[in-house]
Amino acid sequence: MKFTLSWLRDHLDTTASVEEICAKLNTIGLEVESVADPGAALVPFRTARIIEAAQHPNADRLRVCRVDAGPGFDPVQVVCGAPNARTGLAVIFAPPGTYIPGLDTTIKAGAIRGETSGGMLCSLRELGLGDAHDGIAELPDDTLPGQSYAAFAGLDDPVIEIAVTPNRGDALAVRGIARDLAAAGLGHLRPWLAETVEGTFDSPIAWANTYPEACPWVLGRTIRGLRNGPSPDWLQNRLRAIGLRPISALVDITNFFTFDLGRPLHVFDADRLTGDRLTVCRGAGESFRTLDGRDLVVSPDDCVIADAAGVQSLAGIMGGEGTGVTDGTTTVFLECALFDPVRIALTGRRLGLHSDARHRFERGVDQALPVAALQAATRMIIDLCGGGQASEVVSAGQPPDWRRRASLRFARIAGLGGIDIPADEAVASLEALGFEIHRRDAQGVVVDVPSWRNDVATPMALDQGPDLPPDQARAAAEGAAAVDSECDLIEEVLRLRGLDSIPPVSLPALGAVPRPALTPRQVRAATARRVLAARGMAETVGYSFVSQDAAARFGAVPDTLRLLNPIAADLDQMRPTPLVNLLAAVERNAARGYPDLALFEVGPGFFDAAPGAASGAAPGAEQGLIAAGLRSGHAPRFPGQAADPVTLWDAKADAFAALAALGAPVDGLGITADAPGHYHPGRSGVIRQGPRIVLGHFGQIHPGLLAGRDLDRPVVGFELFLDAIADPKRRRRAPPDLPPFQPVQRDFAFLVARDVTAESVLRAARGADRALVSGVRLFDLYEGDKLPEGQKSLGIEVTLQPTERSLTDAEIDAVSDKVVAAVSRACGATLRA
């Protein structure tokens, strides 16, 4: 937002310097980005008068001028080529050594065709102030020589640019900035009241509004009998100072109010409109050319203003070329409206259009200003465009109920802002900003929010409906507003005291040791990936949704896991396990000649939580984190060693390696034979921690799943339920105790009934002597005709680890007897001869 110092002083009665104004703007949160003095480059230029202009003796197109440059300068001779150089003309004079910005050169004293020249008579183009270059600039006849041209032309007016945050739409107006500075104690806000211009005839153009959601209220009036032409110098200078190009009086007036009051306006050339009605409506795919010459196609989401011939304006953003005013315009229709900020922003982004009007509408304009702004603009148009007559005002829609209330508790100022500001000062600050006191007591204050502060609280009806008495309705409204608006009011009070007065407070220290960046669940997933990848498996990432037929092969397919709007017809079910995707990947690779694979995925699996489940979950879809893997075909071949097919032991080894890395008590885990139906019933197992906690499954994939998939090689896999693994205890680990004595291994072969599990034999042997038995491992299983009917032989290896001294033969035999006795007692086993 740019404005000049003189423009600001039209609204602010102050004697403060530019430096003081900029310091105060920074203090109250309107950050100053730059201050430019356009007159600084024009300091050497001064007003002068041509005393005599004579024909150059040696050049037909040159004249020799004797120039009065004012006090301190003797009459100086200047050779000039301008056709309008004549005796008595008031001009702009540049003495030798002056930098000419329009020519990017520094002039010197010298001789031109034999005649001395001690300076230059300048055009506005040579000063960088315009495009006119037909001759030297002509100043008014009563201009006194010797004045600074910058001061004479009002160009010594500093231009201040501030950064405006998106919530402060009121600060996109010079008057809004002046109001803030006055509230901060830097002068007084000058009163502003629009002069009412009475209508003298009925407007031949009326309004219709079929899109009230985008434009709740629109006003307009016809003004006839005008003469459009250049705007006065004061208006051109102000627009030029803030970077706008003056076009014509009618256009410059609308631009002036956009910056002066933050109130965008638009003028249509009434003689170029078709029909007797302008309609605010949705676009319908029409092509439309904007004032800057761009061709656009509007959509039904865009708000437009159309006449009988079609779209004539992109509402709130930019007018159309077809009805724009020209130098010949004599009758205009002046439009002033309120537009929905969100729809304005969406249209502007979609079409790639940015304008000063859009910039203000999408941040919120003063909703109570349209009538006064229309009157003020009417008066200026009549004054600057040669008189004219205005019609009665026509409108469509209704003015919105913008009324809002906000509450402030005085104690919250110090608690939230860190500054103890007296209640009287806080109330005075709010009143200075335009808030009106509705009710005040010792604890706080309730205020009516002014119409220009769209960022404070939210619009609300002060009557909450017929079901509540008025007093209760107002109390309910005020209570609802208190929660949302109190911080807004505290911000206003603090910034008027000065944002630099808020004491800095360091963030609380979180401790010498930073908190973990990852949750235990994230750590488990990363650990599982690292371990499985280290075991030679390749990671895959699959969709969480699969076909219903594929999901049905791995369990139930409840309706709670069906997708109502799948991205593809064959991706309509949430997967129960990542094995669904892994088996499909194995099939695709085998079809392409790569049957020997080792793949894994760590991702979600979905299930239906039944009522009364152990987890306590309500009926509906649930998901868990699963680490799943598949091996197919054969293990890698090595010299002198056959390529053995993968077995369920490979899957078990993968699963237990991951569980060990995840901190699960692998020595205390049990295996049961009740694996789900997608595993081979006799070559699979369930990994349990106790009787109720299931940590995973492993085994050979059921042959029925592989049938018809062209997979003639074994496929084994596993699933680990990472959410079922308990979080590791947060305690410091002691270094491992490594005994200096050699461990001892002893093998035992037991005859047991065929229904006795190997796990029960291993558990019994492990508990025979917990001080010395450090490991038990199954190494042989034999079921043959050399054994008694109904029995099998299990071979286990027991590792004994002494900690104090080497074991004697007698001590080893004693432990061996304990192992045999424990297994016999627990499993009914006998030692095989």
What residue spans of 195-297 are helical by DSSP H?
233-241, 249-260
Q: Is the pLDDT of residue 250 over 50?
A: yes
Is 492 marked as a binding-site residue?
yes
Q: What is the pLDDT of residues 564-620, one digit of tens each?
A: 889 898 899 999 999 999 999 999 999 898 989 999 999 999 988 654 333 333 345
pLDDT given for residue 465 in this prediction: 38
Band of the pLDDT at 731, cuts 50, 70, 90?
A: low
Q: Is the pLDDT of residue 295 over 50?
A: yes
Q: Indicate if 232 and 309 belong to the same structural domain.
A: yes
Quick one: average pLDDT of 192-213? 95
Q: How many CA atoms lie within 13 A of 806 on its CB side?
A: 3
CA distance 526 to 643: 31
Helix, coil or strand: residue 458: coil
| DSSP state for residue 645 in the 8-state scheme | B
pLDDT given for residue 484 in this prediction: 61
pLDDT given for residue 637 in this prediction: 74
Is residue 691 domain-resident? Answer: yes
Is residue 200 domain-resident? Answer: no
Band of the pLDDT at 159, cuts 50, 70, 90?
A: very high
133 vs 233, higher pLDDT: 233
Q: Indicate if 306 and 443 belong to the same structural domain.
A: no
Quick one: average pLDDT of 409-421? 91
Q: Indicate if 488 and 545 belong to the same structural domain.
A: no
Collect all residues with Cβ–Cβ distance below 8 Å to 511 and sequence separation of at least 6: none
The chain-wide mean pLDDT, for the chain, equals 90
Quick one: average pLDDT of 724-751? 84
Is residue 673 domain-resident? Answer: yes
Q: Indicate if 657 and 691 belong to the same structural domain.
A: yes
Q: Indicate if 632 and 677 belong to the same structural domain.
A: yes
Q: Is the pLDDT of residue 262 over 90?
A: yes
Is residue 731 domain-resident? Answer: no
Q: Is the pLDDT of residue 41 over 90?
A: no
Is 539 marked as a binding-site residue?
no
For the purposes of burial, counting CB atoms within 10 Å of the CB of 517, is it exposed (0-12), middle (13-18) or buried (19 or more)? exposed
Band of the pLDDT at 623, cuts 50, 70, 90?
A: confident
Is 455 marked as a binding-site residue?
yes
Answer with the one of 450, 474, 501 that is the final residue of a domain. 501
The fraction of the chain above a pLDDT of 70, given in percent, is 94
pLDDT given for residue 155 in this prediction: 79
Taking a C-beta distance cutoff of 8 angstroms, is the pair 456, 449 a contact? yes
pLDDT given for residue 621 in this prediction: 62
Quick one: average pLDDT of 134-155? 89
Q: Is the pLDDT of residue 268 over 60?
A: yes
Band of the pLDDT at 222, cuts 50, 70, 90?
A: very high
Is residue 9 domain-resident? Answer: yes
Q: Indicate if 115 and 222 belong to the same structural domain.
A: no
Answer with the one of 397, 414, 439 that is the final residue of a domain. 397
Quick one: average pLDDT of 406-424? 92
Q: What is the pLDDT of residues 658-686, one digit of tens each?
A: 999 998 988 888 889 899 999 999 899 99
What residue spans of 508-592 are helical by DSSP H?
520-534, 548-552, 579-591
Is 431 marked as a binding-site residue?
no
Is residue 510 domain-resident? Answer: no
pLDDT given for residue 713 in this prediction: 84
pLDDT given for residue 475 in this prediction: 53
pLDDT-wise least confident of 31-35, 512-516, 622-626: 512-516
Helix, coil or strand: residue 452: coil
CA distance 433 to 179: 7
Taking a C-beta distance cutoff of 8 angstroms, is the pair 281, 320 a contact? no
Q: Is the pLDDT of residue 170 over 70?
A: yes
Is residue 515 domain-resident? Answer: no
The fraction of the chain above a pLDDT of 90, given in percent, is 73
Q: What CATH number does the domain containing 750 carry?
A: 3.30.70.380
Q: What CATH number does the domain containing 8 carry?
A: 3.30.56.10
pLDDT given for residue 464 in this prediction: 39
Q: Is the pLDDT of residue 516 over 90?
A: no
Q: Indicate if 454 and 592 belong to the same structural domain.
A: no
Is residue 732 domain-resident? Answer: no
For the purposes of burial, counting CB atoms within 10 Å of the CB of 110, is it exposed (0-12), middle (13-18) or buried (19 or more)? exposed
Q: Indicate if 346 and 246 belong to the same structural domain.
A: yes
Look-up: residue for tokens 């197992």? 685
Q: Indicate if 275 and 327 belong to the same structural domain.
A: yes
Q: What CATH number does the domain containing 713 carry?
A: 3.30.930.10
Q: Indicate if 80 and 57 belong to the same structural domain.
A: yes
pLDDT given for residue 11 in this prediction: 97
Q: Which domain holds residue 344?
A: 206-397
pLDDT-wise least confident of 255-259, 495-499, 724-728: 724-728
Q: What is the pLDDT of residues 450-507, one digit of tens each?
A: 999 999 976 544 443 334 455 555 555 545 444 568 999 999 999 999 988 998 888 8
Q: Indicate if 782 and 766 belong to the same structural domain.
A: yes
Q: Indicate if 718 and 761 belong to the same structural domain.
A: no
Q: Is the pLDDT of residue 27 over 90?
A: yes
Q: What CATH number does the domain containing 292 carry?
A: 3.50.40.10
Count structural domains, the chain.
6
pLDDT given for residue 609 in this prediction: 67
Q: Is the pLDDT of residue 520 over 90?
A: no
pLDDT given for residue 768 in this prediction: 93
Q: What CATH number does the domain containing 55 carry?
A: 2.40.50.140
Give the pTM: 0.62
